[in-house]
Each structure stands twice: as structure tokens, then as C-alpha cells.
Amino acid sequence: MPDHRPCRYIFVTGGVVSSLGKGLAAASIAALLESRGLRISLLKFDPYLNVDPGTMSPFQHGEVFVTDDGAETDLDLGHYERFTHLTLTRANNVTAGRVYETVLAKERRGDYLGKTVQVIPHVTNEIKDAIRRVSDNVDIVIVEIGGTVGDIESLPFLEAIRQMRQEVGRENTLFIHLTLVPFIAAAGELKTKPTQHSVRELREIGIQADIVLCRTDRLLPPELKAKIALFCNVAEEAVITAKDAGSIYEVPVLLGDQGLDKLALRYLHLDAPDADLSQWRQLIDRVNHPQGEVAIAIAGKYTDYEDSYKSLKEALVHAALAHRLKLRLDWVDTGALEGRSQEEVAARFAGVDGILVPGGFGGRGIEGMLAAIQYARESGTPFFGICLGMQCAVIEFARHVAGLGDANSSEFDPATPHRVIYKLRELRGVEEMGGTMRLGAWACQLVPGSRAAQAYGALAISERHRHRYEFNRDYEAQLTAAGLEISGSSPDRTYVEVVEIPSHPWFLGCQFHPEFKSRSLAPHPLFCAFVGAARTRRSHGGASQSQNSEPGAVLAWRPEASQTGASESGTRGAAAPGPAPKKYPSSPVPA
């Protein structure tokens, strides 16, 4: 039976400076409302003119988060999924570039019947249509507007949400504005003027904030809240302290304790059961009361900017918390390892319990990755390779174990005599970069008894991919004879998905990106197994012992959609066609 209740909308904007945490705020609000039994959807608008972030440098934009349906999206969608039960799609992230592309395509087709195409109404209508597309069968849509109020790029989006209040009614919309309240050390005072100016600038374009979230490093005293309320034209209870937290997983509880969700529901005229934050409080207890420590080195190309590996870092945090451990990360720039002796490499990784080599594109830093992998293999240090990390593990094994001294990937050396990694076979002869990567969720079949199968507790899994190169099965017999195990393949055995070294304490590489499916309250099984192996190594004083590490006492909560089932929504069998090709680039980022 159709649901005729009107959908409500919460619009989250930001002012003063960027990087205040609008994405975390939106995700936390979603977690609070979802804990009350409400059906939630989220949408991120990005004001840049790229059609998607797939071609953007991670040093500028951070990681590209991939959804089940193969969309390359903003990293905030990772926060949305990690804080909720939601499995998002390409409809949940829209850029200005995609909006203008759609509008211009309609103009070329004559959809506007010869009218002059303008920002208002044509661009703003397209933005509102994007909001409505994620509004079916939900109680509340939370819309985050990227950028900062005052930026010229975000004006069409702000105008569109202003119009939304006019169209759906004041009682069905809520504006939440995140601002900065800085502490000036020289004066010994918190200053509210930046917040006042930001809210005023929002009012100048026709939007009155209903709730003001004040990002600060300390609690706001009542008199300061009263001052902000007076000058920003909001109720005192609507001035919420968004205090710096020791862990991002404290944010939903901190906001909930101040009644943010209760106030939002009152403004939206919605009734809902009380929030159940017991699992979030249990998670915070694990954060604040670890029973040990584990040290993991992330040896990658983009370690100078940690947001390049945002989901990866959070997946390791989830796994460490599952084992009640404090995570200590050691960020290793593999470019700095190139040309180093084995002794120098060993010294660099002294004291770490596990080494993870993540994804990336281009040849810079590859020899450093190979050096890190060789050290992990020879020292018995637990190793986890993801995407490019798995490919480098194959290259290192081929060179130093299988006797193929010149083994390489055709991505780095097109003339190599041993292309153990090469371009996806369906892309041979295809030089265009747009939409040609293998993207989204694909099925994988695991080998019984393998470490991967033991970690998942299943043989049929589904994981998200983002790659252009693959394992060359022409070398399968030679590499497996030397001791490499192919423990996961696509159901039709076209693609190699997982490799392991059974004689090693824990050595596993996967072509997919498991970090994209790890949740705050449902840590990913591969990360749990990897951290468990690292913990075992630490408990044995770094001794190399062959064992199959169990995930440990992981949190009981699981999302409604299975983490591993191949029947999961959005999953495609390996023989099925991939995402529809796009006319714009979706290519590897610059090296």
C-alpha cells in the first residue's frame, strides 16, 4: 500500500570555513533519526564542475568512495554508509558538473522548447529533481550542501533549497547551519562574530537557519549560546555545541545528548520512538577502554593526505575496536622507500604488527611498495594488499619467489617480458579513459578452507571494485607452483579476486576494496582477520607463526543488507555487463 505521508527535508549547510565536518554532522543526524525507527535517505551536493570525483587527485579531494552500482562519489557518502544501515547509489551524490551536463543535454534535445536556458529556473529545477529522486518511501531526506556559504559555486544549490521550503512548506523543511566558534588564545575568549556573519549571509539569500551547530574546541557557556541565539534569530535550545571529539563515533551521542534529534522532530512535526543509542555507547566504551594496542603501517602513495585513504583508515579502526584494541597507524610514503636497502626498509617497519598496501594509480612509489611487501613476506609480518596492493604482491612474488625477475604490470612497464598484471582483457585496444574501469559490486567465489573463506564464513561474497588492470592467468600455473594460492575468483573464473600465501602467518591480497563495506557497528571480516593476525604477532613478540586468525569478539550488530552475500542488492555476477559507459572521464587519478 502506498505511503502518502509527506517526506520531510533537512538541509545542512556550512559557513565561515570549509572542513568543519558537515558530512559527519549529516551522518550523525541520520544515525540519530534512524535509531528512532525513521526511514532516512541522504544526498550530497558538490558544487564543483567535475561530473564526478573519479578523475580528481586524492591530494585535492581525498578518496573516491565507490557504491554498489559503480558510482564514483564524494568521501562523505562513506560517512553516510558507515553511520547508518543505508546502501547508497549514484543518485545520492550530485555535482554541479552533472547538473549542468544534464541541463545542456536537455537543451540540445530541444526539451526546453526554444526557451532561454537560465540558472533560475532550469538549473535550480534540476537540483530539486535530484532531491525528489531520493525522496520515495522515506520519512526524512538529509541534504548536505558542499562548500561554504558565500562561495559563488554553491549559490544555485542554496537557491534551490530555498525554493524547496516554498514548495513543500515550512513545516516539512529544516535548515541546519554548521559554523565555527573559534577560541582566540591571546584574548582567552570564544568569538561568535564569524557565526553571526555566516548566518546573516545565509539570510541575505533568503534562508533562515532553524538550528545552528557551533563547531568549537570547548563547550559553549549558556551566556554565549544566548548571544548567538539573539543575533542569529534562533531559539537558545537551537544553538548546539559541536565540540571536538576524541573519536568521530562519539558525535551522534554528543549531539543526541543535547537533544538535536528531538528538536528536529519537533520542528518537522514528527512523532517517533525514543532514540536507542545503546550500541553507539558500547562502541564509545570500546574506544575509551581498549585492552591492548596494535600497530599497522599503511604503505601507500598518498599518505601525505590521510583523507586519501579515509575508508581504509576507518575500516582498520572498526576492526581494532572489534578486538578491543587501540589502533596506532604508521603512514609510510612508499616513494621514500625506493632505492633503500633491505636493512633500511626493515628498520622503517620495525615495531609494526601488520603492513597494509592500499590502492592507487601510476608508477610513482611502486618499487617502494614492492620493498614493503618483500619485507612483510620474508619477515612473517601480516600483510594485507588491496587493489594495487594485491597487484604489487603478485609482482613481488613473481620476481623473488617464482623466478620471474623482470615481472611487472603493463601499467608501469608496457615492455616487460612478464606481464603478470595487465590491462583488463576487454579493454585491449581501448585507449579511452572514460567509464572503462571495472566499477561497483561484483560477485566472488572463495576457495573452501582459505583464509578469506574463514574470515567471511562464506564462499559466495560480493565486494566493490575500482580497477583497470588484472591478474594475468597465463602465469597462474607458474605462480601457484611456487606457493601462491588463488583463493578467490569471479564465478566464471575470468578474474582473480583474492591471492594468499598459505605458508605465511597471514598474507592476503584482494582486487576489490573491502573498506567500502565496513561499518561502524559492523566491522569488515577481512579487516578483522588482518588485525587479529597482527595482534597475534604482537602477543608472540613478533614471532612468525603460521595460523588462521579468528576475527575475535566483533560487535553483534549487523546491517540489514549482508556484508558478504552475493545476492545483495546492486551485485552483478562476473559475466554480467558492468556499469553503462559514460562520455566523461572516469579514469585513474594522477600519479
**Residue 121, preceding bond cis, omega within 30 degrees?**
yes
Read off the C-alpha cell for 502: 598459505
- Pairing label, strands 485-489, 496-500: antiparallel
Considering the domain architecture, whether residues 131 and 274 belong to the same structural domain is answered as yes
Query: CA quadruple 405, 409, 410, 412: dihedral positive or negative?
Result: negative
Distance CA 11, CA 177 (A): 8
Are the beta carbons of 508 and 452 closer than 8 angstroms?
yes
Cα angle 222, 244, 217 (rounded to 5 degrees) comes to 55
Are the beta carbons of 503 and 482 closer than 8 angstroms?
no
Are the beta carbons of 509 and 394 closer than 8 angstroms?
yes
83 burial level (CB within 10 Å; 0-12, 13-18, 19+): buried
The pLDDT assigned to 431 comes to 59
Residue among 165, 257, 269, 155 nearest 209 (CA): 165
Q: Is residue 553 part of a domain?
A: no
Q: Is residue 552 part of a domain?
A: no
Are the beta carbons of 58 and 313 closer than 8 angstroms?
no
197 burial level (CB within 10 Å; 0-12, 13-18, 19+): middle
Report helix, strand and coil shares of the chain as percent, to nearest 5: 40, 20, 40
Considering the domain architecture, whether residues 250 and 329 belong to the same structural domain is answered as no
Q: Is residue 249 part of a domain?
A: yes
Distance CA 79, CA 74 (A): 10
- Please report, to the nearest 10 degrees, the dihedral formed by the alpha carbons of residues 342, 347, 348, 349 taken in order: 90
Q: Which residues of the chain have pLDDT under 50?
A: 1-2, 543-591
The pLDDT assigned to 182 comes to 95
CB atoms within 10 A of CB 257: 9
Considering the domain architecture, whether residues 270 and 294 belong to the same structural domain is answered as no
Task: Characterise 297 by phi-psi region: left (phi > 0), alpha (psi -120 to 50), beta (else).
Answer: beta
State pLDDT tens for residues 365-393: 899 999 999 999 999 999 999 999 999 99
Active site residue 515: yes
Angle between helices 124-133 and 155-168 (to 10 degrees): 60
**Cβ-proximal residues to 31 (8 Å cutoff; 6+ apart), any chain:** 83, 84, 252, 280
Distance CA 134, CA 30 (A): 14
Considering the domain architecture, whether residues 470 and 514 belong to the same structural domain is answered as yes
Considering the domain architecture, whether residues 18 and 72 belong to the same structural domain is answered as yes
Strand partners, 46: 95
Considering the domain architecture, whether residues 255 and 349 belong to the same structural domain is answered as no
Q: Is residue 31 part of a domain?
A: yes
Are the beta carbons of 21 and 178 closer than 8 angstroms?
yes
Considering the domain architecture, whether residues 418 and 514 belong to the same structural domain is answered as yes
Q: Is residue 512 part of a domain?
A: yes
Residue among 415, 478, 398 nearest 407 (CA): 398
Considering the domain architecture, whether residues 206 and 60 belong to the same structural domain is answered as yes
The pLDDT assigned to 572 comes to 37
Biggest distance spanned by C-alpha atoms of the chain: 75
Read off the C-alpha cell for 154: 554553491
119 burial level (CB within 10 Å; 0-12, 13-18, 19+): middle
Q: Is residue 439 part of a domain?
A: no
Residue in 79, 177, 467, 513 annotated catalytic: 513
Last residue of a domain, one of 236, 266, 283: 283
Strand partners, 456: none
Considering the domain architecture, whether residues 68 and 158 belong to the same structural domain is answered as yes
Please report, for the domain that includes residue 146, its CATH number.
3.40.50.300
Are the beta carbons of 383 and 377 closer than 8 angstroms?
yes
Are the beta carbons of 183 and 217 closer than 8 angstroms?
yes
Buried b (16+ CB within 10 A) or exposed e, 40-74: bbbbbbbbbebbbbbbbebeebbbbbbbbbbbbbb
Range of the domain at 367: 290-422+465-539
The number of angstroms, rounded, from the C-alpha of 140 to the middle of its chain's C-alpha atoms is 22
The pLDDT assigned to 573 comes to 39
Distance CA 251, CA 79 (A): 12
The pLDDT assigned to 583 comes to 31
Considering the domain architecture, whether residues 211 and 342 belong to the same structural domain is answered as no
Considering the domain architecture, whether residues 249 and 359 belong to the same structural domain is answered as no
The pLDDT assigned to 363 comes to 83
Buried b (16+ CB within 10 A) or exposed e, 470-483: bbbbebeeebeeee
Distance CA 548, CA 503 (A): 11
Considering the domain architecture, whether residues 246 and 296 belong to the same structural domain is answered as no
The pLDDT assigned to 270 comes to 96
Residue in 7, 214, 387, 444 annotated catalytic: 387
Q: Is residue 573 part of a domain?
A: no
Query: CA quadruple 263, 269, 274, 275: dihedral positive or negative?
Result: negative
Residue among 504, 288, 499, 242 nearest 375 (CA): 504
The pLDDT assigned to 430 comes to 54
Distance CA 534, CA 506 (A): 9
Distance CA 115, CA 208 (A): 32
Q: Is residue 216 part of a domain?
A: yes
Last residue of a domain, one of 516, 539, 562: 539
Residue in 515, 524, 528, 568 annotated catalytic: 515
How many structural domains compose the chain?
A: 2
Active site residue 7: no
Last residue of a domain, one of 251, 283, 315: 283
Please report, for the domain that includes residue 348, its CATH number.
3.40.50.880
Distance CA 426, CA 577 (A): 11
Q: Which own/partner contact pairs does 487-490 have at CB distance under 8 Å and 24+ positions apart?
A: 487/446, 487/447, 487/450, 487/451, 487/452, 487/453, 488/444, 488/445, 488/446, 488/447, 488/450, 488/452, 488/461, 489/444, 489/445, 490/442, 490/443, 490/444, 490/445, 490/573, 490/574, 490/575
Distance CA 337, CA 344 (A): 8
The pLDDT assigned to 584 comes to 28
Active site residue 338: no
